[in-house]
Amino acid sequence: MPIEIVTLLVLSIFLVSLLYSSVGHAGASGYIAVMTLFSLTPAEIRPTALALNILVACIATWQFYRAGHFVWSLFWPFVVLSVPMAFVGGYLNIPTHVFKVLVGGVLLLSAVQLTVRPPAEGEPKPPNKPVAIGAGAGLGLLSGLTGTGGGIFLTPLLIFMRWARTKNASGVSAPFILLNSISGLTGNISSTNNVPAVVWPLLATVAIGGFIGSYVGSRKLPALAIKRLLAAVLLIAGLKLIFT
């Protein structure tokens, strides 16, 4: 790649990590969109996005945990089956065009809802354990199939169902993304035996963006601002799934 194109790629990846980490996400759907625009191959895109996801999710998990937004009792039921299902999704190589359009449509509707009428911050009522475990299994499979960590689906679910306050939803989504990304990447590498070289120079970029974004999101931004940013993230992710 010419140096100008590499610079634009690095800057774009940095901005994605900054935006996504501010809402407790790691940015995989945004990375996928950027790398698609820069004509990277599908074999490079999914493992690279998951690898970058792991690093940013580590940083976001640490930041939101330190700020007191992680809730173990809410977290574990969602993650117990999501991790093995993310491995299955990452291992599978199946045509997903219709699936991606449907999921992208759901994300766009969620973005509109958060923009027009964001849910109020009331007293949350966590789901019962079987519901959370079943939802986590489905989200894990989605995360592996789409090459994301699943937070793009979990956070709006927690908010819209009033299962968690906004910052707690972000605090739970970050480690959820981390574990699913590790599982999805393991499944992908098991299937393809490929770790793209492009991942290495991008890791430092997302580390900086992820640190800044997650610090601001966990400590400085009010809940309404996080919902607005989440709407932007969902919009980007939805458009990416539909048009790439």
pLDDT digits (tens, 9 = 90+) for 80-115: 999 999 888 878 766 667 667 767 777 787 787 777
Residue carrying the six token digits 């809802």:
113
Closest-CA residue to 122 (of 83, 159, 171):
159
Query: How many CA atoms within 13 Å lie on the side-chain side of 98?
Result: 1
Cα separation, 26 vs 175, in Å, equals 10
pLDDT in tens, 202-214: 999 999 999 999 9
| More confident call, 6 vs 64 | 64
**Are the C-beta atoms of 141 and 87 separated by less than 8 Å?**
no
**Helix (H), strand (E) counts: the chain:** 11, 0
pLDDT of residue 3: 83
**Are the C-beta atoms of 52 and 17 separated by less than 8 Å?**
yes
pLDDT in tens, 6-41: 889 999 999 989 988 988 888 887 888 888 778 888
For the chain, the C-alpha Rg in angstroms (whole number) is 16
Core vs surface per residue 133-164: b (16+ CB within 10 A) or e: bebbbebbbbbbbbbbbbbbbbbbbbbebbbb
Question: Exposure of 193 by Cβ count < 10 A (0-12 exposed, 13-18 middle, 19+ buried)?
Answer: exposed
Phi first, then psi: what are they for 14, rounded to 5°?
A: -60, -45
Q: How many residues does this entry show for the chain?
A: 244
For the chain, the distance separating the N- and C-terminal CA atoms, rounded to the nearest angstrom, is: 21
User: What is the span of the domain harbouring residue 8?
Assistant: 3-243
Count of domains for the chain: 1
Cα separation, 65 vs 59, in Å, equals 10
